[in-house]
Amino acid sequence: MLAACGPTPRLPSPPTGVAAVGVAPVENKTGNKLVVSGDSYVAKWIGWDKKTVMDVLAKELETALADRGFPAAGSGAPKLKVVLTRYEPDLPQLQWVNVSLTATLADPDGTVRWSGERSSWMVSTSGSPSIESAYSLAARTIARQLIEGWEPKSQ
């Protein structure tokens, strides 16, 4: 029981020698839809597009990589793939989302350049007024923390 209360292991050191990174579609293996917006009757009637945690996470990863200086990746660049296995909010308080995931950076030929796993990652969503808001905030936080310290290879 004490081992479960210990700190969550950090991700491995950032990859080196990578000039560009693409983002693969985020895979959802949680068993839940993880909808952020566009799934209510009103939203469907208005014509809003459905958006999920996976959409928010992938978009935020692309934005965060660009912010860190990685250029838009072509088909020959390594891709960052994220697989969510747990995404459970603290209901009804919405103070955090308990996240478990695996992230892998691999070349098109399948060569793994970097891989990391986080389980029982308590991502703060304090102040979120709704589950959709908590889902979105957690996804954006996860994206930024996944690539923390990553730097593109100097050309």
| DSSP string for residues in 68-104 | TTPPPP-TTS-EEEEEEEEEEE-TTT-SEEEEEEEEE
Residue 96: inside a domain: yes
The pLDDT, as a whole number, for residue 2 is: 41
Per-residue pLDDT averaged across 60-76, rounded? Answer: 91
More confident residue, 39 or 11: 11
Mean pLDDT in residue range 130-150: 95
The SS3 of residue 47 is coil
pTM of the predicted model, to two decimals? 0.86
Evaluate whether residue 83 is within a structural domain.
yes
* pLDDT > 90? residue 41: no
Here the CATH number for the domain that contains residue 110 is 3.40.50.10610
User: By mean pLDDT, which of 47-61, 74-88, 121-135 is the weakest?
Assistant: 47-61
Give the separation between CA 74 and CA 38, rounded to whole angstroms.
31
- Res 104 pLDDT > 60: yes
Amino acid at 140: R
Return the amino acid letter for 88.
Answer: E
Helices 131-146 and 53-67 pack at an angle, to 10 degrees, of: 40
Q: Domain residues for 133?
A: 19-146
What's the pLDDT band for 105 if we cut at 50, 70, 90?
Answer: very high
Q: How many domains does the chain have?
A: 1
Nearest to 26 by CA among 74, 77, 84, 78: 84
Q: Classify 107 as helix, strand or coil.
A: coil
Question: Residue 97 falls within a domain, yes or no?
Answer: yes
Residue 43 has pLDDT above 60, yes or no: no
pLDDT at 42 over 60: no
Cα–Cα distance, 152 to 68 (Å, whole number):
8
36 belongs to a structural domain: yes
If residue 153 lies in a helix (H) or strand (E), which one and from where to where? none
